[in-house]
Amino acid sequence: MKLLYLGHPKNPIYSFLQTKGIVSQTQEKISFNVNQFDWVISYGYSHIIEQKIIDKVKNPIINLHISYLPFNRGADPNFWSWLENTPKGVTIHQIDKGIDTGNIFIQKEIIFTGNETLSSSYEILKKEIENLFIENFDNIIQGFIFPKKQNGKGTFHLKKDLNKYKHLLTQGWNTPVNQIKMTDLEIINEIEKIRSKNNVNWMDILRLAFQYAPSEARKIMAKINKDDNRISELLEQLSNNG
């Protein structure tokens, strides 16, 4: 079996894959023909895989993501799970044209009980996903685990989104997780920003309604509902922020 591993070679996943077949490894952005490989596995890979690459693989590309999808897709998932108080865990999923939006092979929610730091909680998640992959790899490639669509909207963050909260990292990644939370004013500002966007959405839907365009109006209503759900989450966080 020919395998392509996208990620750093010094970890248990790479060592494990070497027991399963002939493994090629890279951390660079791939642009070569991938249909020569039976399976492609991505773990900690920092490049977006283009659709033309995805279309050429023999089997779905397997990605290991340290979050409980659909929550915290994108960058710095462990940080955001603490800041926004979303479920924490690990997920093994297919790569599609979106960012961490592919169908899920298997995932595991992790409940933290100790006094963790961002670094120690990350290490726990890292070990959990490596063990989960090693235990289930054969079942995945043999088709015994059927991938399922992600359930719900979840959350997504870009790398740059962390910049406005870097002041919380008083000890870098060794900062205790109980210090990673928005202030009351930051939560209120986030609500204000979302409400401001929603005011525009309401005006748009009124214009469409007057123009008798029910199909377009339904799309805008979906956006409004998504933002209102986020406001409800922030209000709950604000009420428990003492």
Asked whether residue 87 falls in the same domain as residue 136, the answer is yes
Asked whether residue 170 falls in the same domain as residue 195, the answer is no
DSSP H or E run through 43: strand 39-43
Asked whether residue 195 falls in the same domain as residue 131, the answer is no
Would you call 80 helix, strand, or coil by DSSP? helix
Q: Give the model confidence (pLDDT) of 52-102 as tens digits.
A: 899 889 999 999 999 999 999 999 999 999 999 999 999 999 999 999 999
What CATH number does residue 139 fall under?
3.40.50.170
Tell me the pLDDT band of 121, cut-offs 50, 70 and 90. Answer: very high
Mean pLDDT of 148-164: 94
Cα 122 to Cα 169: distance, rounded to the nearest angstrom? 15
Tell me the pLDDT band of 181, cut-offs 50, 70 and 90. Answer: confident
Is residue 218 over pLDDT 90? no
Asked whether residue 27 falls in the same domain as residue 94, the answer is yes
Asked whether residue 150 falls in the same domain as residue 219, the answer is no
- pLDDT of 228 reads 87
Boundary residue ending a domain (143, 176, 209): 176
Mean pLDDT of 16-23: 96
- pLDDT of 135 reads 98
Asked whether residue 131 falls in the same domain as residue 186, the answer is no
**Half-sphere exposure for 59 (CA within 13 Å, toward CB):** 17
Would you call 64 helix, strand, or coil by DSSP? strand
Asked whether residue 19 falls in the same domain as residue 112, the answer is yes
Is residue 187 over pLDDT 90? no
Boundary residue ending a domain (176, 198, 229): 176
Boundary residue ending a domain (176, 194, 224): 176
Q: Which residue range forms the structural domain that includes residue 52?
A: 2-176
Sheet containing 39-43: order of strands:
22-26, 2-7, 39-43, 62-65, 89-94, 104-109
Q: Give the model confidence (pLDDT) of 21-35 as tens digits.
A: 999 999 999 877 788
Is residue 238 over pLDDT 90? no
Asked whether residue 211 falls in the same domain as residue 132, the answer is no
- pLDDT of 40 reads 97
- pLDDT of 32 reads 75
Is residue 224 over pLDDT 90? no
Asked whether residue 132 falls in the same domain as residue 54, the answer is yes
Asked whether residue 9 falls in the same domain as residue 117, the answer is yes
Cα 210 to Cα 152: distance, rounded to the nearest angstrom? 31
- pLDDT of 43 reads 97
- pLDDT of 65 reads 98
Q: Give the model confidence (pLDDT) of 89-113 as tens digits.
A: 999 999 999 999 999 999 999 999 8
Q: What is the mean pLDDT of the chain?
A: 92
Is residue 156 over pLDDT 90? yes
Asked whether residue 162 falls in the same domain as residue 205, the answer is no
The pTM for the full model equals: 0.78
Asked whether residue 170 falls in the same domain as residue 191, the answer is no
* Domains held by the chain: number: 2
Which of 134, 150, 11 minimizes the C-alpha distance to 68? 150
C-alpha of 50 from chain center: 18
Which of 196, 185, 206 minimizes the C-alpha distance to 227? 196
Token reading at 3: 């395998």
- pLDDT of 117 reads 97
Which of 195, 182, 172 minimizes the C-alpha distance to 84? 182
